[in-house]
Amino acid sequence: MNNKLLSLLLVLALMIPALGLTESAVMLPNPVREATREEVLEATGANLLVPEEATEVSYSLIEVPDQEPLGQVRFVYQQAEYLFRAQQGNDPADISGMYLDWDTVTQAEKAPFSGTICLDESGDGIALWRYEKEGYNFALVMFNAATEDGLLEMSALLLPDPGEA
């Protein structure tokens, strides 16, 4: 880096306090907030239920301007950790938040849903489902112990009845 650019960056860094810009003034607000199941249902229209025996259940909403709210629930079931998400949208979308180069990608059908199962050799995996009629995208993330059968079985438990979505 040349000396003039370095000097300019140093001057700008020193000016931030003088301009009254504090750390909180330059940080973006966190779009994730804790919520109840009912708040997620009200905001998204999706009733994110978990198995009755699930533990460590926590709901939250991700609210970003100009986007539909994304509802999610984290839970542990039979010693596996999951994240289940739902969001309305006009087009199919990967709302999992898992941006990996997947080792295997498989198409799956569960009428009226069509989906994709993605697995990584690290043990992480996702099931992505779309409910076209109501325009919902669903994502189920399984951490550290994902298998295609495990994701399909949990998806069958979690995906709403077509009349409920």
Percent residues over pLDDT 90 in the chain: 61
Average pLDDT over residues 102-129: 89
Whether 8 shows a pLDDT value over 60: the answer reads no
Distance (Å, whole) CA 34 – CA 55 = 17
**pLDDT tens digits for range 136-145:** 999 999 999 9
In a domain? residue 6: no
**This prediction's pTM:** 0.79
**pLDDT tens digits for range 31-57:** 899 999 999 999 999 999 999 999 999
CATH of the domain at 72: 3.40.1000
Distance (Å, whole) CA 91 – CA 155 = 20
The pLDDT value given to residue 13: 57
In a domain? residue 7: no
In a domain? residue 111: yes
In a domain? residue 10: no
In a domain? residue 86: yes
**pLDDT tens digits for range 76-112:** 999 999 999 999 999 999 999 999 999 999 998 766 5
In a domain? residue 5: no
In a domain? residue 20: no
Domain of residue 94 covers 30-158
Tokens (6 digits) for 45? 């229209």
Strand order in the sheet with 32-35: 32-35, 55-62, 70-77, 80-88, 136-143, 125-131, 113-119, 104-110
Of 38, 41, 36, 47, which is closest to residue 162 (Cα–Cα)?
A: 47
Domain count, the chain: 1
Distance (Å, whole) CA 134 – CA 141 = 22
| Cα 90 to chain centroid, rounded | 17
In a domain? residue 25: no
